[in-house]
Amino acid sequence: MSQKSIILDGKKVADDIKDEIAQEVEILVSGGGKRPHLAAILVGDDGASQTYVNNKIRACKRVGFEYTLLNFPETISENKLMSEIERINADDDVDGLIVQLPLPEHISSSKVTERIMPEKDVDGFTNLNYGKITSKNPGLMPATPYGIVELLKRYDIDILGKHCVMVGNSRTVGAPMSIIMSYHENATVTVCHIHTKNLEEHTKKADILIVATGKPGLIKGDMVKEGVIVVDVGITRITTDENDRGYYLKGDVEFEEVEPKASYITPVPGGVGPMTIASLLLNTLKASKNRAQLKQA
């Protein structure tokens, strides 16, 4: 019988990080420094997007950041949105800017992302920040991969030399995650995705399995080996009549099947999600410090 797995509690770790940031902000401000300022843009009234942005605003309040929320109607033109981004880019008081995705179909997410000043791109989505992942002096790291690595390290999980299998090759998670694990953490990395032939042949070899496909329940119990460390990035709303909300959240991993074989595993929700927000805060604090240093130079 396998030993019971340890839950990688992203909510607890994120709370610890927020406490650390709050202390640092108070020291910074009491010493005459500027209070970090995060601006968020929300387009439309999608319920899930509103929830995500509200969580980020609450996190800003908790750590003592200033924050600005700009909520635009779904009908806003691409040019108007670009102008608003340029205005925030030019606002010297704002240190970080996020644009909540997805955007309406008539607005190009890639164009919007690239319009954000890289120094304020606390999501880590711009091409410049993405490219600098392969540098020994990276810029603002993509928030979700950054949060995953921090979560593993806070549980004293040794990444060096481990075989990490990344299932998912997206621009926001899978691709940068594979680079970070290989280049910065010196893991041996295999990158798979939902079109990979005989996926289980790869996942069964994983010491660390990270899954980010948006396909609920993709990874079954017979697709992993005993002792695997599992990070489930996926989170999908599944419609149900069994609760008042009308939905429940499900990850890309069949938790009940995989958990008995895992040494460590993230829950959904409460695993990667809170760590992504914590990473946004860490990036905003870093951006604020960087800007302050440039002014002093």
Q: What pLDDT does 2 receive?
A: 53
Q: Choosing from 18, 100, 120, 232, which is the catalytic residue?
A: 100
200-214 tens-digit pLDDT:
999 999 999 999 999
Q: Choosing from 18, 56, 120, 250, which is the catalytic residue?
A: 56
Q: What pLDDT does 245 receive?
A: 86
Residues 6 or more apart in contact with residue 84 via CB below 8 angstroms:
41, 70, 72
> Do 71 and 99 contact (CB within 8 A), yes or no?
no
DSSP H stretches of helix in the chain: 10-30, 47-63, 78-90, 109-115, 127-131, 143-154, 174-179, 199-203, 255-258, 272-296
pTM, entire model: 0.95
Measured distance CA(157)–CA(237) in Å, rounded: 30
Domains and CATH numbers, the chain: 34-117 (3.40.50.10860), 144-272 (3.40.50.720)
Question: Pairing relation of β-strands 163-167 and 96-99?
Answer: unpaired
43-84 tens-digit pLDDT:
999 888 999 999 999 999 999 999 999 999 999 999 999 999
Q: With b meaning 16 or more CB within 10 Å and e meaning fewer, what string describes 174-193?
A: bbbbbbbbbebbebebbbbe
Q: Choosing from 95, 121, 123, 252, which is the catalytic residue?
A: 123
Low-confidence stretches of the chain (pLDDT beneath 70): 1-3, 297
Q: Is residue 123 annotated as a catalytic residue, yes or no?
A: yes
Q: What pLDDT does 1 receive?
A: 43
Measured distance CA(278)–CA(209) in Å, rounded: 22
Q: What pLDDT does 297 receive?
A: 65
